[in-house]
Chains A and B, each alone.
Chain A
Amino acid sequence: MELRKWVGMAALATSLLLATSAVAAQDTEYVDPCLDASATATEAPAAPADNSDVSFSIILPNPRGDRSFIDSAAAGAERAIAELGVEGTIVETAGVQEHDAAIRRAVQDEPDLIITIAVDASTIEEIVDEFPDQNFAAQETFFFTPVDYPNLALTTILTHENSYLAGIAAGMLSRTGIVGSVGGLDTPGINLFIVGFEEGVHAACPDCQTLRSYVGDFSDPVTGKEQALALYEQGADILYQVAGRSGEGVLEAAAETGNFAIGVDSNQDDLYPGSVIVSAMKRVDNAVFGFVQSVVDGTYTGGTANYGMAEGYAGLSWDVGVCSRTFDEYGPEDMAAELPAVRAAIDEARAAILAGDIVVTNALEEASS
């Protein structure tokens, strides 16, 4: 007991020291781009191009309203229809049982592109194989064995780099020096997030301790919450959730215990204002828009591609474009005061990653090599 207290205080001292040094290192005042009038000024929407001869259908895996990637994908499709002037059909399905029939029905209309979101790999493979003249694009689908079809464009959004940035925020803001992650399953796809995050934590706070736990399920908020409570009990004060709906339990636990969490995939800062520091976002909307753009430009090709922070497919909810400032407003004052310094450090790390000076471990690549 006594020992733990000492360790806690030592960690607190180091983190405070680090935080102050980070502020001190910042000679020039940090200018928040989101508060900069020129950046947030609404641009006059460009007149939509007329590409009405280009058509696409997008099959959503569930009805809209998930506050996550489905809504994001639909938003991307709507933006493509509005900005590119293409003909688009957005199809919501009620679940796995309707995916196959909906895709097959879409094929009958012969659109230039059929985009599927989080449809099972075997379903896609079978259909792509059966209709070689139809172009497909798949997002949020994970293939175990790499596939290469000329009529299937497959993008994976790599999230290790933006997780690293979230890790920097956690490392700088942690008071106890213990930061945890709650994953859905112990798979390479999930560890991609967690490994990147932990590297970010250690970069910002070399003495910080990182904890991990896995829920074993992506749709079990109750277990997610219990595991979060256990990690908070072990002294963690910031948790990164990478557990789908189970992760909503983590956010809830943060709000209940007065601790903090980091959201994932979509902007979750507003789910529990003041408890969610930032969210590591997957920009599925940009991916969908990119697919449609590639058809309009005539650059569509099949094959697998990885996109990440460099292409704008992964980022933080603090970034320009989303500009979430919920934690500034609702978070504790002492932490909110540190945010400009945190953002400056993140911008620096982002530049270093994009320049190749910092290389974040890609757990997916490690698993397959």
Chain B
Amino acid sequence: MSEQTGIRRTLETIGVALLAIFLGLLASSIFVIIAGSNPVDAYQRLFCEGFGAKGCQTFGDLLIQTVVDEDTGESQAVFSLFYGEGGHKLALILERATPLILTALSATVAFKAGMFSIGMDGQFVLGALAAAFLGYWLPNQIYAIAGITDPELAPEGLKTIMHILMPAACLGAAMIVGAFYSWIAGFLKVKLNINVLISTIILNAIAVQFVGYMVNYPLRSDMNNIARTARIDDTAWLIPFNRGLFANADIEWFSGSRLGVGFIIAVIAAILVWYFLYRTTKGYEQRMVNGSPLFARFSGIPSSRAMLRAMLISGALSGIAGAIEVIGVERRIVDGFAGAGSGFDGVLVAILARESIFGILFVAPFFAGLEQGAINFQFGNLPRQLGNIIIAFIILFNSMEYFLRNRIAAIWRKRHVLSSPAAPAPTEASS
């Protein structure tokens, strides 16, 4: 594939995505009108609530916003992406997108190896449970061994070491737990040829119920009316930017958001996964298994091993997502906690991003923004159900990608029938 067609394909993908969003908005207008609202107002509200800065009212405000200075009364135009007064919504969105990026990567790694695993939910909650338990249990053990009764009085040196080791231990344990849980489904597929989709659905149910039991009974920390585990020790906390790195810089952009190191981990994970899948032999093996396991085996690729490896990596990524949600955001598991559902949303993100690694980095925040925008619809006194209908339509039209692309390609061919011999037929996208 030449450089030029690569760029053309990328542009085409973006164009198709934008067209799908537009069509989704057009279709959901019917419902907005039935609900008695003005569609344009509703969509401005949806996108401003999802992605805008404070005071965002119109589509234009998403890009450039007029801000009135409170002291002088002067108004000036600012680039709204950098206008962080009172906390930018993107900071909240990126916080929500962090687990989605990881679970979408997890789904992509599995899908690329031909394993239709949707076990991200189960691996996510088990990873979260492992991190939540170790996050308070391990530091307590260390304090007990060191003979420290009050963690506040622990020597600084010990605290510094623990600040590095504890999050690493939580993330590591979550990776192992997630990988193992995912491996079960892979093993069942490879040895007994049990459908991965079915086994992961069942495994999800088991994991979610198990975590619910653990949070409600053995690990329940108090008689709070919503069951919860004990809060993790401060040394195990992946401190958010606005409290740690930029605590003294007083950057308002991050205000109210718990965006932190977890997001950086997610981006690094995306780069590593891309490198592994497209630049290493083992990654190549995994992608080859996808098309035809039998052909791959005849070509000398150990297909069972490649599939199991894909499942292990997939599970580890979901496990990390759960751990970050606990040690980076919530610091404990509350029954029915925020991350629950990230696993399944991750599958949706992976599908919407057409299993493209870098696509995920854009689709995950977009998805999180739409979800948040729909919830926050109510701050404009619009019903939240309306927001969910709009999201559903956008996803629906995005899933019609193949149809949309072919239509456009057909129109393109007709117009340029003289200037270019033929538009490239749609082939398997390579990231």
> Once the chains bind, are A96 and B54 in contact (CB under 8 Å)?
no
Type the 1/0 row for B75-114, where 1 means its CB is closer than 8 Å to any CB of A. 0000000000011010010001000000000000000000
Taking the nearest CB of chain B, how far is it from the CB of A260, in angstroms? 28
The B-contacting residues of A in range 30-68, CB under 8 angstroms, are 57
> Once the chains bind, are B224 and A102 in contact (CB under 8 Å)?
no
Tell me if A98 counts as interface (CB < 8 A to partner B).
yes
> Once the chains bind, are A97 and B256 in contact (CB under 8 Å)?
no
Provide the residues of chain A in CB contact with B228, threshold 8 Å.
Answer: 120, 122
The A-contacting residues of B in range 218-240, CB under 8 angstroms, are 222-226, 228, 231
Complex CA gap A96/B254 in Å reads 23
Q: Which one, B256, B378, B384, contacts A107 given CB within 8 A?
A: B256
Nearest A residue to B223, CB-CB = A187
Complex CA gap A95/B340 in Å reads 11
Provide the residues of chain B in CB contact with A187, threshold 8 Å.
Answer: 223
Q: Which one, A57, A94, A121, contacts B224 given CB within 8 A?
A: A121
> Once the chains bind, are B92 and A101 in contact (CB under 8 Å)?
yes
> Once the chains bind, are A122 and B256 in contact (CB under 8 Å)?
no
> Once the chains bind, are B341 and A97 in contact (CB under 8 Å)?
yes
Q: Which one, A106, A120, A121, contacts B379 given CB within 8 A?
A: A106
> Once the chains bind, are B224 and A89 in contact (CB under 8 Å)?
no
Q: Which one, B334, B340, B376, contacts A105 given CB within 8 A?
A: B376
> Once the chains bind, are B339 and A97 in contact (CB under 8 Å)?
yes
Tell me if B381 counts as interface (CB < 8 A to partner A).
yes
Tell me if B335 counts as interface (CB < 8 A to partner A).
yes
The A-contacting residues of B in range 325-349, CB under 8 angstroms, are 332, 334-341
Complex CA gap A20/B375 in Å reads 58
Taking the nearest CB of chain B, how far is it from the CB of A55, in angstroms? 11
Q: Which one, A90, A118, A185, contacts B223 given CB within 8 A?
A: A185
> Once the chains bind, are A96 and B226 in contact (CB under 8 Å)?
yes
Tell me if A271 counts as interface (CB < 8 A to partner B).
no
Taking the nearest CB of chain A, how far is it from the CB of B237, in angstroms? 12
Nearest A residue to B222, CB-CB = A144
Complex CA gap A256/B120 in Å reads 44
Complex CA gap A85/B14 in Å reads 48
Nearest A residue to B88, CB-CB = A108
Tell me if B372 counts as interface (CB < 8 A to partner A).
yes
Whether A108 touches B336, Cβ cut-off 8 Å, given contacts A89-B381, A92-B384, A93-B375, is: no
Provide the residues of chain B in CB contact with A131, threshold 8 Å.
Answer: 256
> Once the chains bind, are A105 and B336 in contact (CB under 8 Å)?
no
> Once the chains bind, are A96 and B334 in contact (CB under 8 Å)?
yes
Tell me if A109 counts as interface (CB < 8 A to partner B).
yes
Provide the residues of chain B in CB contact with A344, threshold 8 Å.
Answer: none
Interface size, A (range)? 20 to 34
> Once the chains bind, are A97 and B337 in contact (CB under 8 Å)?
yes
The B-contacting residues of A in range 111-167, CB under 8 angstroms, are 118, 120-122, 130-131, 142, 144
Complex CA gap A359/B336 in Å reads 40
Type the 1/0 row for A335-355, where 1 means its CB is closer than 8 Å to any CB of B. 000000000000000000000
> Once the chains bind, are B225 and A142 in contact (CB under 8 Å)?
yes
Complex CA gap A90/B372 in Å reads 16
Nearest A residue to B256, CB-CB = A104
Complex CA gap A110/B92 in Å reads 17
Provide the residues of chain B in CB contact with A120, threshold 8 Å.
Answer: 224, 226, 228, 334
Nearest B residue to A127, CB-CB = B256
Taking the nearest CB of chain A, how far is it from the CB of B225, in angstroms? 6
Complex CA gap A118/B336 in Å reads 14
Tell me if A235 counts as interface (CB < 8 A to partner B).
no
> Once the chains bind, are B92 and A89 in contact (CB under 8 Å)?
no
> Once the chains bind, are B256 and A108 in contact (CB under 8 Å)?
yes
Taking the nearest CB of chain A, how far is it from the CB of B262, in angstroms? 16
Tell me if A91 counts as interface (CB < 8 A to partner B).
yes
Complex CA gap A213/B94 in Å reads 47
Taking the nearest CB of chain B, how far is it from the CB of A130, in angstroms? 7
Type the 1/0 row for B245-275, where 1 means its CB is closer than 8 Å to any CB of A. 0000000000011000000000000000000
Interface residues of B (CB under 8 A from A): 49, 54, 86-87, 89, 92, 96, 222-226, 228, 231, 256-257, 332, 334-341, 372, 375-376, 378-379, 381, 384
Given A101-B96, A106-B379, A120-B334: 10 more A-B contacts, CB < 8 Å: A91-B379, A92-B384, A100-B338, A105-B92, A108-B87, A110-B86, A130-B256, A131-B256, A142-B224, A144-B223
20 example contacts (A-B, Cβ-Cβ < 8 A) are as follows A57-B379, A93-B375, A95-B336, A96-B226, A96-B336, A97-B336, A97-B341, A101-B375, A104-B256, A105-B376, A107-B256, A108-B54, A120-B334, A121-B224, A122-B224, A122-B231, A122-B332, A122-B334, A131-B256, A189-B225
